[in-house]
Chains A and B, each alone.
Chain A
Amino acid sequence: MRKNKVLGIYTFIVFAFLMIPLLIIVVTAFGEADIVQFPIKGFTLKWFSKAINSQSFVSSCLFSFKLAIGATLVALLVGVPAAYALARFTVWGKGLIKGFFLSPTIVPGTVLGFALFQVMIVKMHIPTAVGLFCGHFLIVLPYVIRIVGSSLEEFDFSMEEAAWTLGMGKIKTFFTIVLPNITSGISAAFLLAFINSFNNVPVSMFMTGPGVNTMPTTLMGYLESGFDPTVPAFSVLLMIATIGIMFVVEKTLGIAALSQ
């Protein structure tokens, strides 16, 4: 195919627009001055050691990690059987039920956060962490239903029937025949669910409290109350983690798994 030069330059500019701001963050993390500035003066790694030693960054990161893992695992536990039932059986109102499972996506994050905060925390006095967990569960469930659902739709259920006919129990069949065939879907769902919970701001904004601070809300707090290059340093560390995840995904599932 003949290459169109103008189009190539246009694409290059678009990607420069996407990449330059992130590169600027990387550069500003190494400046010696106490404020975030570009171009930087001097070169130092002190902000990285400050970021790693910052109690609030580290503990909020750990909290977000646990929250995201927990919400994702529960969403898989609830979502995989549901996706299986929807793909496998003739269920009354299938489209409606599937739509219901995907419905958290049409509720804006701030609305979801506010509704849960108002009802669970204020009216029912449920601990903030529990409300937050529910919110994150709702954010990630649609990923599980959608991705595991589409990988189940590609699964040939005659394999399952063959196992049944040969006398294997239904539960054992599910775990030894069905589940191994949808692991890539489950892994992709797990990763996307985890990343989206870990990065969520709007739902978490409403449910913070002592010991209940997610990484993004902590970062947001820093940005709103004056900040130093610890923030870009911390951002760089998170970006490195993201690149690590992408590298592993590329080697195993293929990078397209992350754009579903």
Chain B
Amino acid sequence: MKNWIKYTLLLPGIVILVLFLVMPLLSMFMPTIFPENSFSLESYVLFFQDPLNVKIFVRTLRVSLITTVICAFLGVPAAYYISRCKANLRSFFMTVSIFPLLTNSVIRSFAWITILGRNGIINQILQGIGLISEPIQMMYTEFAIIIGSVYLFLPLMMTTLVGVMENISNDMMEAAESLGASRLKAFFKVILPLSLPGIIVGSTLVFTGTLSAYTTPQLLGGNKNTVMATFIYEKAMNLGDWTGASVVAIIMIITTVIAMKGLNYVAGRLDKRGEA
């Protein structure tokens, strides 16, 4: 095959990505490191000197981390159960997990407004059984963002995990049990280590997803609980602070890449350990 043909097939995509992805990102990035035609990281230093910015950055990381941990705790046992189900029950569970993934995130966040609001379902129940006399504030809190994010990303964790756990043979568990391990012990010593690569892939998806999610923190967090994604929007569209928004954007990209590479590295180490 002549060489030019294969590169011709790749060229349109590369050109478009350079024009509409690389160039815009670079022209956003450049002013943040060359504020007055000379290299300076001042914008970033200034960003982290403002306690408010640090608070937003830390909140974003905290929300993402807690969401990831909760998704893993809810997702791992459920995914294991699904992976051991008979084929038609398994495909039922998969269908039910995929449905939320295809449903708009605005709708999925909206559901929680009805549940967590002042006159929402939880407050009604708690008041009904006399546990509280005044409605508690759940909307526009970090708690609301976390529960909304878990709701948003749990199906992603589960579908990823089921895909990995399906490939773990039942014989493994039976072997462990016949050698005297309790079922719980067999799960922790056999199944969990084997599904760790899947858990890490799922965690990466959930963590980076929560980190960059806009809809849920915007609708459930309100103005007082800004995260990085809503911070960019606020800086750019409400305050007109282009460079400030760009700094936030670059920090988000760097955080995403570090999280991905870090978890990839962990996954790689674990894979090697498995082979040894």
Using a CB–CB cutoff of 8 Å, the interface residues on chain A facing chain B are 1, 4, 7-8, 10-11, 14-15, 17-19, 21-22, 24-25, 28, 36-38, 78-79, 81-82, 84-86, 88-89, 91, 97, 100-101, 103-104, 106-112, 114-120, 123, 134, 137-138, 141, 195, 198-199, 201-202, 205-206, 215-216, 219-220, 223-224, 231-232, 235, 238-239, 242-243, 245-246, 250, 255-256, 258-259
Contact = CB atoms under 8 A, between A and B. Distances in A.
A91 B24 contact: no
B232 A110 contact: yes
Given A18-B151, A118-B24, A206 B14 contact: no
A193 to B, nearest CB: 12
A108 B253 contact: yes
Contacts of A112: 21
Contact of A137 (B20, B102, B170): B20
Nearest to B211: A108
Contact of B214 (A37, A199, A205, A215): A205
Please indicate which of the listed interface residues B9, B98, B104, B183 has the most CB atoms of chain A within 10 Å of its own CB: B104
Contact of A202 (B16, B100, B163, B229): B229
B21 A107 contact: yes
A246 B10 contact: no
B142 to A, nearest CB: 19
A27 B104 CA distance: 18
Nearest to A36: B114
A28 B114 contact: yes
B12 interface: yes
Nearest to B251: A111
B215 A201 contact: yes
Interface string B238-275: 00001001100100110011001000000000000000
Contacts of A97: 10, 14
B229 A25 contact: no
What band does the interface of chain B fall in when counting residues whose beta carbon is under 8 Å from A? 35 or more
A256 B90 CA distance: 11
Contacts of B16: 78, 137
B212 A201 contact: no
B237 to A, nearest CB: 7
A19 B96 contact: yes
B193 interface: no
A218 B154 CA distance: 26
B98 A259 contact: yes
20 contacts: A4-B183, A18-B155, A37-B119, A108-B256, A110-B212, A110-B232, A110-B233, A111-B253, A115-B24, A118-B24, A118-B28, A118-B236, A138-B17, A220-B106, A224-B218, A232-B110, A255-B94, A258-B101, A259-B97, A259-B101
Contact of A81 (B9, B98, B102): B9
Given A19-B96, A202-B212, 18 more contacts: A7-B77, A14-B158, A17-B74, A18-B155, A22-B107, A22-B111, A37-B119, A85-B9, A103-B17, A103-B21, A104-B21, A118-B246, A199-B104, A224-B218, A243-B99, A255-B94, A259-B101, A259-B159
A10 B82 CA distance: 11
Contacts, number: 240
Contact of A15 (B23, B96, B236, B252): B96
B236 A101 contact: no
Contacts of A110: 212, 214, 229-230, 232-233, 249, 252
Nearest to A134: B20
A112 B245 CA distance: 12
B109 to A, nearest CB: 8
Please indicate which of the listed interface residues A79, A111, A137, A255 has the most CB atoms of chain B within 10 Å of its own CB: A111
A25 B104 contact: no
Contacts of A19: 96
A18 B21 contact: no
Interface string B121-137: 10000000000000000
A4 B111 contact: no
B106 A216 contact: yes
B81 interface: yes
